[in-house]
């Protein structure tokens, strides 16, 4: 196979220079199959560029590769890198063992996918993989499934466009209502995903419109063409489908999941899918949510709805990703007893144990909707008999839309490390035992893949955390920097590293400081969700209220006097969130309505915290912009430097607007002046 190189597209974290340490070696690749051939092609291309050699030893030619103290010998000397698939491993597993002894670095993989992941790990280590002896290290992913969801539309939607909540241009799969004629970039994308451990992808919007629905039947060959490009990198393709497909595509008069005709239709259709794409992953379904059809129309439960698809997929090893994002989006803002945060738990917790084993209940990491700060969803602890998957949003819908620097790995690490029972069992463990980790993609046809070049780090970090949730966010950022930015002729790589850490380490908290305070959420413009509009959703049917008045702000979600949402958590956390004294400051307004003079654990009042953080957030962005401007010429690619600079200009403009609107709003509500006398309009 040919490893893609796109001259007009940024190489992201796989520039040719990243392969130098591998390409300088004498390498032996042992094993058979498409993924082994992919690894062989990667090594061969690196060797052509950097002067090394590579030899392929098919599994049929011998037993397991020699041990590290007895390296095989080639025509031009001993091999110093051996990549092999073990005959005694588990081919369906993705792990590998890495060791170095007697001058040989060895990767022995459980299966072909592990060989590819092992190679990319050696690339990540660079020269360090070929230094001192290294005792055997076991590398196995925490999550069996590490998936990216694309919200891409085949035909551009009149409101949402080509990619819903996409901030990086158009789809890399679809254009003008058809499959793109040149799919070279899809291969390059598959390579990027595999290099950070991702092994599953869905290729169309969870809001399945009329054209996208046809991918299941009339346009299945389009999906097969995409699957053929992901397959050499160990990535299985999934498809978002409409619950109403038996009606809209099958000509039935019902989609009732308990109707025998509906069950038969799904079985026949699914068999045809696997006849075309034998390694098809399964279906992603958004049902009874925001206007999408679902089982409620027939008086059935979500378990009924998911199970009919699961039964159709089971003979082929496929899975259903059934999204738990179900809530009433036509609420009455006057009714304070309603609470969108409660919805997923209320709908799904009573169904625990009723879903088939090949149903993954895909739960957003927070109870609302990917806000800058939310508590972890209580659903993770509520369904021990259900395979739960954790859904994150890499595309920055509510965190700056890839126009603002916002490195999300620290947020995700907090989510994955959260212990619902406070007993050592974490959300990461729940996901690992269930449906794994899923992310909404931030990739488009933009030259830099993610619009903002620094937003590439979020996609990379998602893959690394799905493989190893305990990885430190700063360590992941260092990996990404080392791979993405090659050494500069100026001799100042440390300056670039320091600058990038200064821009990115605390960027999520910086974004939080100048936007919505203390966990209140939203306050964005309805529709595009970009920029401030404090009351934009306050009187809407979407159920996203902050209840600010002249006396205070926040949503009372306590059991004692509010919506009762706090009681959906296991007792230890329910008590923390219920208590005004114990609730963490950063979530105070999510759980409590408090006076502006309420004193936080930090020692300042709520109103002064709002003023201070919004001024501080703008100061931080100002400093980041100044640091980027001061980078010496040539330290990074000129086009990349210009794009980041433009985005920082926009971030600073927008941060000032957030600061002035939020501070002015709460000054006018509270009548309390800033204690430091700064200008508020």
**∠ Cα 57 59 65 (to 5°):** 70
CA atoms within 13 A on the CB side of 351: 24
b/e 601-633 (16+ beta carbons within 10 angstroms → b): eeebbbbbbbbbbbbebbebbeebbebbeebee
Task: For residue 244, give every residue at least 6 positions away whose Cβ sits within 8 Å of its Cβ, in sequence order, or none.
Answer: 255, 293
Count the Cβ atoms, other than its own, within 10 Å of residue 92: 9
**∠ Cα 248 369 480 (to 5°):** 105
Per the document, the length of the chain is: 681
CA atoms within 13 A on the CB side of 240: 25
Residue with tokens 């703008």: 618
The dihedral formed by the CA atoms of 71, 77, 82 and 84, expressed in degrees to the nearest 10: -80
DSSP code string of 111-150 = SHHHHHHHHHHHHHHGGGGGSS-EEEEEE--S-S-EEEE-
DSSP code string of 195-224 = HTT--EEE-S-SS--HHHHGGGTTTHHHHH
If we measure between CA atoms, which residue out of 82, 116, 127 comes closest to residue 101? 82
If we measure between CA atoms, which residue out of 673, 675, 671, 661 comes closest to residue 550? 671
Task: For residue 621, give every residue at least 6 positions away whose Cβ sits within 8 Å of its Cβ, in sequence order, or none.
Answer: 510, 514, 648, 651, 652, 655
Question: What CA–CA distances, in Å, run from 308 to 243, 256, 258, 262, 380?
Answer: 10, 10, 8, 8, 24
**Which residues belong to the active site?**
290, 369, 397
**Run of H or E residues at 677:** none
Count the Cβ atoms, other than its own, within 10 Å of residue 590: 27
Count the Cβ atoms, other than its own, within 10 Å of residue 181: 6
d(CA 658, CA 531): 7
Beta strand spans in 441-587 (E) = 552-553
CA atoms within 13 A on the CB side of 606: 27
CA atoms within 13 A on the CB side of 520: 25
Tokens standing for residue 287: 């049902």
Query: What sections of 435-554 are H helices per DSSP?
Result: 456-467, 473-484, 493-504, 507-514
């Amino acid at each position: 196979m040919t490893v893609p190189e796109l001259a007009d597209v940024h190489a992201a974290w796989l520039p040719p220079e990243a392969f130098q340490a591998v390409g300088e070696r004498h390498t032996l690749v042992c094993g058979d199959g498409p993924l082994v051939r992919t690894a062989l092609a990667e090594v061969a291309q690196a060797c052509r560029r950097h002067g090394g050699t590579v030899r392929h030893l098919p599994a049929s030619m011998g037993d397991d590769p020699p041990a590290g103290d007895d390296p095989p010998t080639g025509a031009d000397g001993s091999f110093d890198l051996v990549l092999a698939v073990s005959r005694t491993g588990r081919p369906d597993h993705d792990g590998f063992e890495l060791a170095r002894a007697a001058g040989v670095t060895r990767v022995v993989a459980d299966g072909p996918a592990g060989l590819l992941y092992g190679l990319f790990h050696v690339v990540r280590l660079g020269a360090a993989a070929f230094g001192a002896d290294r005792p055997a290290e076991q590398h196995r992913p925490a999550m069996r499934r590490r998936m990216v969801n694309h919200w891409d539309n085949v035909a551009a939607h009149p409101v949402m466009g080509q990619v819903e909540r996409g901030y990086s241009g158009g789809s890399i799969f679809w254009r003008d209502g058809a499959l793109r004629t040149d799919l070279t970039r899809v291969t390059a994308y598959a390579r990027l995903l595999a290099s950070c451990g991702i092994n599953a992808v869905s290729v169309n919007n969870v809001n399945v419109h009329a054209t996208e629905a046809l991918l299941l039947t009339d346009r299945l060959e389009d999906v097969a063409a995409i699957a053929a490009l992901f397959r050499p990198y160990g990535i299985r393709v999934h498809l978002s489908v409409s619950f109403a497909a038996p009606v809209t595509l099958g000509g039935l008069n019902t989609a009732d999941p308990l109707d025998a005709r509906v069950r038969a239709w799904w079985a026949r259709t699914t068999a045809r899918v696997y006849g075309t794409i034998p390694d098809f992953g399964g279906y992603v379904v958004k049902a009874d949510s925001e206007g999408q059809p679902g089982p409620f129309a027939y008086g059935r439960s979500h378990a009924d709805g998911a199970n009919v698809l699961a039964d159709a997929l089971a003979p082929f090893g496929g899975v259903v990703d059934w999204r738990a994002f179900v809530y009433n989006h036509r609420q009455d803002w006057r009714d304070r007893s309603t609470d969108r945060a409660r919805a997923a738990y209320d709908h799904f917790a009573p169904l625990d144990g009723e879903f088939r084993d090949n149903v993954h209940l895909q739960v957003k990491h927070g109870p609302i909707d990917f806000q800058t700060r939310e508590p972890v969803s209580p659903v993770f602890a509520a369904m021990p008999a259900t395979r739960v998957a954790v859904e994150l949003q890499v595309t920055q819908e509510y965190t700056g839309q890839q126009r603002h620097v916002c490195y999300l790995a620290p947020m995700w690490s907090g989510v994955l490390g959260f212990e619902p029972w406070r007993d050592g069992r974490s959300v990461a463990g729940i996901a690992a035992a269930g449906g794994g980790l899923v992310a909404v993609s931030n990739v488009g046809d933009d030259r830099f893949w993610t619009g903002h070049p620094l937003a590439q780090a979020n996609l990379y970090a998602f893959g690394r955390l799905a493989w190893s949730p305990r990885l430190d966010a700063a360590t992941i950022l260092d990996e990404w920097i080392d791979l993405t930015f090659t050494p500069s002729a100026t001799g100042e790589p440390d300056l670039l590293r320091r600058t990038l850490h200064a821009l990115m380490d605390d960027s999520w908290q910086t974004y939080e400081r100048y936007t919505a305070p203390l966990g209140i959420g939203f306050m964005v413009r309805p529709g595009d969700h970009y920029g401030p509009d404090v009351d934009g959703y306050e009187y809407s049917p979407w159920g996203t209220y902050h209840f600010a008045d002249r006396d205070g702000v926040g949503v009372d979600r306590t059991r004692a006097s509010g919506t009762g949402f706090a009681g959906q958590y296991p007792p230890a956390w329910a008590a923390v969130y219920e208590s005004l004294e114990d609730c963490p400051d950063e979530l105070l307004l999510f759980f409590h309505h408090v006076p502006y003079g309420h004193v936080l654990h930090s020692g300042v009042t709520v109103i002064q915290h709002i003023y201070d953080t919004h001024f501080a957030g703008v100061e931080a962005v100002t400093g980041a912009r100044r640091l980027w401007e001061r980078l010496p010429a040539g330290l990074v690619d000129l086009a990349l430097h210009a794009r980041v600079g433009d985005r920082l200009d926009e971030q600073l403009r927008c941060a000032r607007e957030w600061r002035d609107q939020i501070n002015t709003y709460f000054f006018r509500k509270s009548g309390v002046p800033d204690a430091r006398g700064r200008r508020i309009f």
